[in-house]
Amino acid sequence: MKKTLIIVDMINDFVTGKLGSPRAQKIVPNIASLIKKARKLGIPIVYLRDAHSPDDKELAIWGEHAMKGTSASEIIPQLKPEKNDMVLEKKWYSGFVDTELPAVLKKLGADTLVFTGVSTDICVQNNVADAYFSGYGIIVPRDCTASIDEESYEQSLKYMKNIYGAEITTSDKVL
Ligand code: ZN
């Protein structure tokens, strides 16, 4: 099994900013530990982050957020990427659309993707869907992802397990 750790949208706007929440803040230390472990084991880390332009479709639904070139779109300081990590900007929920992600994963030789970040039922779930359509195995450590409320979170985990065959586990068992 060749894993890659994917960190979805742990950016200022979604953790402490405009669309931030205590739930998103709560998972930060768990993701930090997982990143540390991945670095130690030489498991590649890919950060995906929203970086929107004014004409992006999503803004009609969510309003202006995570605008490209602003601090709102930056990865939170506690999870700061290092030199060998990859950081890809995205403008859709899924990082598989209009980015280098498919090529990056192919080059890494990844076969299993570990998804963390926010929101479980929006960007994480849509990335998981595309990962499934691309043939990847999927693992989601449940203590490393969060939604705006408990119901959306639980429903999404269940959906990803049942529909995409995602292994729902915890961060201490994942790498
Ligand atoms: Zn967005």
pLDDT in tens, 4-58: 999 999 999 999 999 999 999 999 999 999 999 999 999 999 999 999 999 999 9
Q: Rounded to the nearest whole angstrom, what is the distance from the C-alpha of residue 156 to the centroid of ligand 1?
A: 18
By residue range, what is the domain housing residue 45? 3-174
* Cα distance between residue 103 and residue 77, in whole Å: 27
Q: pLDDT band at 84, cuts 50/70/90?
A: very high
CATH number of the domain at 76, please: 3.40.50.850
Residue 114: phi and psi, rounded to 5, are: -100, 115
* Cα distance between residue 167 and residue 114, in whole Å: 9
Beta bridge partners of 18: none
Q: pLDDT band at 116, cuts 50/70/90?
A: very high
Q: What is the pTM of this model?
A: 0.97
3-class SS shares of the chain: helix, strand, coil, % to 5: 45, 20, 35
Q: Rounded to the nearest whole angstrom, what is the distance from the C-alpha of residue 93 to the centroid of ligand 1?
A: 6
Q: Rounded to the nearest whole angstrom, what is the distance from the C-alpha of residue 28 to the centroid of ligand 1?
A: 20
Q: Rounded to the nearest whole angstrom, what is the distance from the C-alpha of residue 67 to the centroid of ligand 1?
A: 9
Q: Rounded to the nearest whole angstrom, what is the distance from the C-alpha of residue 50 to the centroid of ligand 1?
A: 5
Q: Rounded to the nearest whole angstrom, what is the distance from the C-alpha of residue 21 to the centroid of ligand 1?
A: 16
Q: Rounded to the nearest whole angstrom, what is the distance from the C-alpha of residue 114 to the centroid of ligand 1?
A: 21
Report the number of distinct structural domains present in the chain.
1
* Cα distance between residue 46 and residue 40, in whole Å: 15
pLDDT (0 to 100) of residue 96: 98
